[in-house]
Amino acid sequence: MISTLEKEITFRYLKTRKKDGFLNVISIFSFVGISLGVAVLIIVMSVMNGFRTELINKIVGFNSHITVQPYEDKIDIKRIENTKLQFISKNLIFSNSSEAVIFRKDNSKGIVLRGYSGKDFSDLEIINNENFFGEKNNLTLNNISIGKELAFTLGLKIGDEITIMSPSGIETIIGNLPKQKSFRVKSFFESGLADFDNNIAFINLDTFEEFFGKKSSDRNLEIFLKNPQNIENQKKIVQQVFPNEFVYSWSDINSSLFSALKVERNVMFIILSLIIVVAAFNIISGLTILVKNKTKDIAILKSIGVLNKSIIKIFFLVGVIIGTTATIFGIILGVTFSLYVENLRQFISNIFDITLFPEEIYFLSTMPSEINPISILLISISSIIITVIVSIFPAFKAAKLDPVKALKYE
């Protein structure tokens, strides 16, 4: 317990006095340093969490959550009626995909073509968002749907005709020649990821199989889940339903990307935590000078019977209060900036005419932010623990002062 005397002396030492000018400067730097360290950590963690979440949402919104790919035999349609599979899935779609080359006048580009039936195409999440432009129910015969980025690259608009070359060839008298087919652009889609929008196009599944020489037994089963975040457990269920097929998820395809993001986030946390450590060491300097300045006061307190443990508590509390209040202020500052980080980015971009967070590098057009209470709690606990540790040494040093020697030189 903390006595009334200990509280009064602690708060008295926390008040600024003119003769303690240098000590006040150190205390202010300690407070500001810890506050900024905590705030920067919260802002960086929030932006990285937001970036990861937005990236997952974009990837999950564009790709199937789980894909079942046959090795040799055709996927057994009866297994689709499995109770467990029906319980976790929102939609089940057959598809096929392959690489091709698209030609438009003097331009050409390698793309990935995906084949869907007209009905399944209109059920895709990316087709039913506000950024889709064109006809949703017209993926028939030689019609094609392309990304807005690809349309911009090739200078296409709705109704234009393009030529696509298939890697599968046809035998002629002069040898094997690749197939070519003309398609008419019927719609544009936008996933929010420039890499997808510039490299993927959709055509009718039957047209796809005829063009690439594929069979219906080659079709993949795309599974869209009700809860795509909890992917690993649901992948195991799908593997049990389809034990003889290759099963992979969106997480498997992008595992290297998300592993890199996780490592980067952890490294950033460690590096930025050093700001708090450096600022906390200012508390040691401040408390050491405070002990030196209050030598006479400590000697008088001891001479009137104040115990060493009370002296320890007083100087320990001074350091902890500075660190705790700085942490709280840093949390408020960090959360506020995290909430308005996109507004701040736009403001800086407009004022200095520079591009922060370019879409072609970071995939996203806006700077995302996701405040994670667990991250804030971890940062706060780390900051307070560091403060507590650095406050121990000066507090014990104050308790070790000999009152006789201290008063002798006063």
End-to-end Cα separation, the chain, in angstroms: 32
Phi, psi for 242 (deg, rounded to 5)? -120, 75
pLDDT tens-place string over residues 261-294: 778 778 877 877 777 777 777 777 777 776 666 6
Query: Token pair of 138, please?
Result: 């017209």
Task: Give residues with Cβ within 8 angstroms of 152, minimum separation 6.
Answer: none
The string of DSSP codes covering 1-21 is: ---HHHHHHHHHHHS--GGGH
Residue 408 has pLDDT above 60, yes or no: no
Count how many Cα atoms sit within 13 Å of the Cα of residue 301 in the half-sphere of its side chain. 23
The amino acid present at 263, given as its one-letter code, is V
* Phi-psi region at 386: left, alpha or beta (left = phi > 0; alpha = psi -120 to 50): alpha
Helix, strand, coil percentages, rounded to 5, for the chain: 60, 20, 20
Q: What is the mean pLDDT of residues 17-38?
A: 68
pLDDT tens-place string over residues 107-165: 888 888 999 988 888 888 888 877 888 888 778 888 999 988 888 888 888 888 988 88
Label residue 202 by pLDDT band (50, 70, 90): very high
Closest Cα partner for 26 from 358, 284, 264? 284
Label residue 406 by pLDDT band (50, 70, 90): low
Q: From CA 410, how far away is CA 400, in angstroms rounded?
A: 18
Q: What is the model's pLDDT at position 197? A: 85
* Phi-psi region at 141: left, alpha or beta (left = phi > 0; alpha = psi -120 to 50): left
Query: Token pair of 19, please?
Result: 């003769």
* Residue, of 408 and 257, whose pLDDT is higher: 257
Residue 40 has pLDDT above 70, yes or no: yes
Percent of the chain with pLDDT strictly greater than 70: 83
Q: From CA 188, how far away is CA 176, in angstroms rounded?
A: 34
Taking the CA atoms of the chain, what radius of gyration do you get in angstroms?
A: 33
Grouping H, G, I as helix, E, B as strand and the rest as coil, residue 363 is: coil
Residue 356 has pLDDT above 70, yes or no: no
Closest Cα partner for 93 from 71, 63, 50? 63
Closest Cα partner for 286 from 35, 30, 21? 30
CB atoms within 10 A of CB 74: 11
Phi, psi for 84 (deg, rounded to 5)? -65, -40
Mean pLDDT of the chain: 79
Backbone CA torsion sign across 250, 254, 258, 261: negative
Residue 361 has pLDDT above 80, yes or no: no
Q: From CA 59, how far away is CA 256, in angstroms rounded?
A: 14
Count how many Cα atoms sit within 13 Å of the Cα of residue 283 in the half-sphere of its side chain. 34
pLDDT tens-place string over residues 82-115: 888 888 888 888 999 888 888 887 788 888 899 9
pLDDT tens-place string over residues 304-317: 776 777 777 877 78
pLDDT tens-place string over residues 204-262: 998 888 888 888 888 899 988 888 777 888 888 888 888 888 998 888 887 777 777 77
Burial string for 276-314 (b: 16+ CB within 10 Å, else e) reads: bbebbebbbbbbbbbbeebbebbbebbeeebeeebbbbb
Q: What is the model's pLDDT at position 332? A: 92
Q: What is the mean pLDDT of residues 65-88?
A: 85
